[in-house]
Structure 1
Amino acid sequence: MPWETMDSEMTLHAPGAEGSHEKRSRSAEGSVESPTPRSADAVEKQETPAEGTPSAPPDHLQHVYPEGSLRGWLTVAGAWLCLVCTFGYTNAYGVYQSYYVQTMLPSSSTSAISWIGSLQLFFLFAMGLPTGRLFDAGYFRHMMFAGMVIMVGCLFAQSAAQYDQYYQVFLSQAVGQGIGGGLLYLPAISIISHYFQKRRALAIGIVQSGSSTGGVVFPILLNNLFVNVGYVWAVRITGFIMLGLLAAANILAAPRLAPKKDHPKPDLRRFCTDPPYISAVLGMFLVWWGLFYPFFYIQLFASSHGLSDSYAFYTIAIINAASMLGRTLPNFFADKTGIMPLLVPSTAISGILLLILVACTNMSGVTVFCVLFGLFSGAFISLMAPMFAVMSDHVFEIGIRFGFAIFIMSFAGLTGTPITGALVGNSPPYTWYKPCVFAGVCMLGGTALLTFSWVTLGRKKGQIMV
C-alpha cells in the first residue's frame, strides 16, 4: 500500500486493481478515503522501505483534499488579507527609505536606514522556523491574533517616533512590525495546504497576489498621505487600515485539520541531507540576496536620474502591479506543467533584468524594467511555497519545511539591502552599477542551484516536470 507524496493525489489503491472504485466516507469538508482490503499475497509482496526512508504515515493521516469548498475559499480570502498587510506592506518600504533619507532621518546614512527595512524583512521570514512548528502543532489562531495585535500596536508606536531619532523608528518598524508580520506570514501561506492539493499552486498564487496588492496600494497611499497630512497621521491611518484588514483575516481564515499527536515528526537532519531540498534552500538564499534591491531603491534610482517626483512615487507601485499578474498566472499553469519549469526561468530572467537596470535611465526604460521585473520576480515569489510543498513527504511536514527554508533565507533578506545600500553610497551622486551587478549575479547564482534542485527532484520523483 504505497504512500504517495505531496504531488500525488494522496489516495489509497488496491494493488493490481487499477481503475477500481475506492470506498469513501463523506464529510462536510471533503471526502475521506478508506483503504481497499488487500490480499495476504499483496501484503507479503509489499517492499520494505529502505533504511533512512521516511515510513509511511498511518492510514488515518491519508485524506482527500476538498480542493476548495466555501470554508476553503474564505480561508484563501483571509490569507490574502494577511499577505496584503505583511509582505505587501514590506514591499512598500522603498517609500519609507526615500522619505527617511531625504526628510525624517537626515543624520543617518543610506545603508543604516536600509537596515530598518531589511530587519523588518528578516523577522518576517526568520519567524518561519518557530511559527512553522507552532502551525504544525495547531496554534494557527493564536499566532493570527498575536500577530495582529503586535503589528497594529507597533504601527501606532512608529507614528510617535521623533524627528531624526533613528532608534525609535528602528524598534517600532524594524523589530516590532517584523515580528508581528512574521507571526502572520507563514501560517497564512501554510493554511492553504489544508484545503488544496491539485490546485494548491493556484490557491497559493492567489494568496501571494495579496502582497502585490499591498505593494501597489501602500506606496501610493503613503506617498500621498506624507504630502497631505504628514508623517504622523500617515502612519496612524495605515495602522487603522491594518486593524480592519487583519481583524477580517482572523475571522475568515480557519484551519481544517486538527493536529495529530501520532503523525510522523519532522526530522531536520533528514531535510539537510535531501539534495533537492537543501540545494533549493541555498539557491533561495542567493536569490533573496538580490531580489529586494529594486523594491528598496527604485524610487531613489528614478529620482537620482532626474525623473520627476510625481513619477518616481509610482515606480514601486508599478513593480507590484505587474507582480500581481506574475503571482497568479504562472500558478495556474504550474498545476499542469509542474513548479520548477516555471520557477527556474522566471528567476533567471529576473537576474538578467537587474544587470541591465543600470542602463535604464529614462522614464520609458525604468517603466519597462518595473513591469518586467515585477512580472518575473512575482512568479518566483508565488511558486516558492508550492515548491517546498512538493518536496514534503506529507501534509504535516509542510510547515516546518517551509519555515526552515525561509528562516535561512531571512539572513539574506537581512544583509542584502544594506550591502546594496553601501554600494549605492550615502549621498549624491549615487553609484548604481555596483548594486545592480551584485544583485543580478546573486540571482543568477541562485538560479544555478535551483536548476540543480530541479534535476535531483526530478530524479527522485521519476519525472522532470515537477
Structure 2
Amino acid sequence: MTIVSLAGKQSDEEISYDMETLAEVIAPAAAERMEEAKAGIVPEKHDHEHHIPEGGVKAWMTVAGAWWISSICFGYANAFGVYQTYYVTELLPSYSTSAISWIGSLQAFFLYSTAIVAGPMFDRGYCRHMLVAGSVLFVGCLFAQAQAQRDAYYQIFLSQGLGQGMAMGMLYLPGMAVVLQHFKKNSAVAIGIAFTGSSIGGIVFPIMINNIFNDVGYVWGVRAAGFYVLGATVFANLLIRPQYAPKHTQQPAPNIATFLKDPPYICAVAGAACVAFGLFFVYFYIQLYTLTRGGISQNFSFYTLAIVNGASIFGRTIPNIFADKIGITKVLMPMSFLSGALVFVMFGLHNVGGITIFCILYGFITGAYVSMSGPFFAAMADHMGEMGARMGLALALVGIAALVGTPIDGALLGNGPEYSWSRAIVFTSVMMIGGTCIMTVGAWLLAKKRGKWV
C-alpha cells in the first residue's frame, strides 16, 4: 500500500510521523551507498543473479570438451576431400564428380541446418540431451558407412551424408554455444581455442584415412575414424558443463519473426550464405586439383588437406585475440574478403612450393572466418535467451548454401580426366567476395543500431 493511499485513512499527525520514520530508515542507507560509490566499492551481487564467470575450472573444461566436438565435426567434414578422391577413383567409379560431392555437401548442410532446431532446444536447456544423442548417432553411422559396398551410392549417401551430417549438427551448435555461457569479454579467444580442435582433426583424419586406405583398405580406414569419434564424444560429454541462467532470471523466449525484421541480421546472414557457396571448394577439391595438375606427386597431394587444416590452427587463435580487443567485425570482414580473393591465386599454382604457400594462407584465413562467424551472429542477440536461436537460424540458412555450393563446383568442373578448373575458381571467388560485401553492410547497420562496432 502506498503513502498516498494511506493518507486517505490516517490523520495528518500520523502521516507526518510515518514520513519522518521512513526518512530515518532511508537516509542512512542512501548515505552509505553514496560513500561506497565514492570509495569505488562495488555492491555485492545477489546469488540468484546469472553471472558469466569469464573463466574457472568448469569454463575451461567446457572449452576442452568443445575442442573435441570441433575436431570431429569440422575436422572430419574438412577431410571429405580424401573421400571425394577415393570415391571418384575407387569406390563409386560409376558416378560423376558432382554426384559424389552431393554426399559431402549434404553432410555440411546438416552440420549447419540442424542448428535451426538445435538452437531453440539449446536455449530451452537441452544441451546435454543433444550431445548424447548426436554422439550415439555419429558413431553408429560411421560404422555403418564402413560396410558400404562398391557402387552402392545410396549406402554412402545415407550413412555419411544424411546420418553423420545430422549427428554433427546436434553436436556442433550446443558444443560451441555452451562456451559462450562461460565467456563474454574473451568469447572470441575461447571459441578460437575450441575451434583449433577442427584444425587438429583436419590434420589427423586426412593423414590417417589416406594411409589406412592405401595400406589396409576402405573398411578399416572408416572404422579407425569411428573409433576416434567414439573416444572424442566420450571426452566431450564428460568435460562440457552447461551454465544456464536460474529459472527466475531467464530472458523471454526468442521470437524468430523478429529476427527476420532485423536488417543487420538479414544482411549478415545473406552475406554468410553467399560465402558458404564457395567456402568448401578448396577443402573438397584441393587434393583432386593437385592430383590432376602436372608435376605434382600423388604423395604430396595426400598431404594438401593436412597443410590447410594445420595452418588453420593459427588462424583460429591469433586473429581472435585481436577480435576481442578491437571487435569481431573489424577482423572477420577482412578475413572473409581475403579468403575469396585468395582462390583466384589457384590460376597460378603450378608447383609444390606455390601450392604449399596457398594451402597455408587459405587455411589461416578461412580458419579465422569459421571460428568468428558463430560469435558474430551470437553478438547480434538482444539478450542471452535468444543467442542459440540467432545462431541456429543463421547456420541453417548458411547450410542451404553449403548444400548446393560444392555440387555446383562439381558440375562446373565436369567429368574427368580433364577438369574445367577455371569456371569453378571464378564462381567460388565471386560468391565469396560478393558475400563479404553484403556481410559488411550488415555489420555497418549493426554498428548504427548499437552505436559502436561489435
**TM > 0.5 between the two?**
yes
CA contact (8 A) 2:142 2:226 kept: yes
Structure-2 change in CA distance of 1:259 and 1:443 (3 Å): farther
Aligned twin of 1:23: 43
1:377 aligns with 2:397: no
Give the partner amino acid of 1:187.
Answer: P
1:23 partner SS: coil
**Pick from 85, 90, 113: which aligns with 1:98?**
85
**Pick from 268, 284, 292: which aligns with 1:280?**
268
Write the distance in 1 (CA, Å) between the matches of 2:433 and 2:400.
18
Residue 396 (structure 1) shift: 1.6
**Pick from 109, 113, 120: which aligns with 2:107?**
120
CA contact (8 A) 1:137 1:259 kept: no
Give the partner amino acid of 2:403.
Answer: L
Write the distance in 2 (CA, Å) between the matches of 1:316 and 1:130.
31
TM-score, normalised on structure 1?
0.87
**Pick from 297, 300, 311: which aligns with 2:288?**
300
Aligned twin of 1:397: 386
Structure that is richer in helix per residue = 2
1:120-155 CA distances to partner (integer Å, 9 max, x unpaired)? 001111100100011111111111111010000000
1:214-237 CA distances to partner (integer Å, 9 max, x unpaired)? 111100110001011100011111
**Pick from 330, 335, 339: which aligns with 1:346?**
335
1:316 aligns with 2:336: no
1:266 aligns with 2:266: no
Aligned twin of 1:386: 375
2:390 partner SS: helix
Residue 259 (structure 1) shift: 6.5
Give the partner amino acid of 2:64.
Answer: A
**Pick from 212, 217, 223: which aligns with 1:225?**
212
Write the distance in 2 (CA, Å) between the matches of 1:208 and 1:88.
9
Residue 272 (structure 1) shift: 1.2
CA contact (8 A) 1:299 1:316 kept: yes
Aligned twin of 1:172: 159
Structure-2 change in CA distance of 1:18 and 1:276 (3 Å): farther
Give the partner amino acid of 1:302.
Answer: T
1:89-141 CA distances to partner (integer Å, 9 max, x unpaired)? 00000000000001110000000000000000011111001000111111111
1:323-342 CA distances to partner (integer Å, 9 max, x unpaired)? 11101111111110100010
**Pick from 210, 234, 238: which aligns with 1:251?**
238
Write the distance in 1 (CA, Å) between the matches of 2:51 and 2:230.
35
Matches within 5 A, 1:228-239: 228-239=215-226
Give the partner amino acid of 1:157.
Answer: A
Give the partner amino acid of 1:182.
Answer: G
Alignment identity in percent? 50
CA contact (8 A) 1:350 1:376 kept: yes
Write the distance in 2 (CA, Å) between the matches of 1:272 and 1:357.
37
Write the distance in 2 (CA, Å) between the matches of 1:250 and 1:377.
28
**Pick from 192, 205, 210: which aligns with 2:197?**
210
CA contact (8 A) 1:193 1:395 kept: no
Give the partner amino acid of 1:412.
Answer: A
Residue 284 (structure 1) shift: 0.3
Write the distance in 2 (CA, Å) between the matches of 1:270 and 1:19.
43
Give the partner amino acid of 1:283.
Answer: G
Question: Structure 2: any 5+ residue segments left out of the alignment?
Answer: 1-32
**Pick from 400, 403, 406: which aligns with 1:411?**
400
Residue 260 (structure 1) shift: 3.5
Write the distance in 2 (CA, Å) between the matches of 1:183 and 1:257.
18
1:24 partner SS: coil
1:254 partner SS: coil
1:150 aligns with 2:150: no
Write the distance in 1 (CA, Å) between the matches of 2:319 and 2:84.
31
Residue 258 (structure 1) shift: 4.7
Residue 64 (structure 1) shift: 3.1
Aligned twin of 2:347: 358
Aligned twin of 2:117: 130
1:360-379 CA distances to partner (integer Å, 9 max, x unpaired)? 12211211111111111111
CA contact (8 A) 1:119 1:174 kept: yes
Aligned length: 419
Structure-2 change in CA distance of 1:273 and 1:370 (3 Å): same
1:451 aligns with 2:412: no
Write the distance in 1 (CA, Å) between the matches of 2:81 and 2:442.
32
Residue 73 (structure 1) shift: 0.2
Give the partner amino acid of 1:270.
Answer: T
**Pick from 116, 129, 150: which aligns with 1:163?**
150
Write the distance in 2 (CA, Å) between the matches of 1:149 and 1:355.
41
1:418-443 CA distances to partner (integer Å, 9 max, x unpaired)? 00011111111111010000000000
Deviation beyond 4 Å, 4+ runs, structure 1:
17-20
Give the partner amino acid of 1:22.
Answer: V
Matches within 5 A, 1:6-85: 20-25=40-45, 63-85=50-72
Give the partner amino acid of 1:76.
Answer: V
Residue 20 (structure 1) shift: 4.5
Write the distance in 1 (CA, Å) between the matches of 2:136 and 2:223.
15
CA contact (8 A) 1:82 1:185 kept: yes
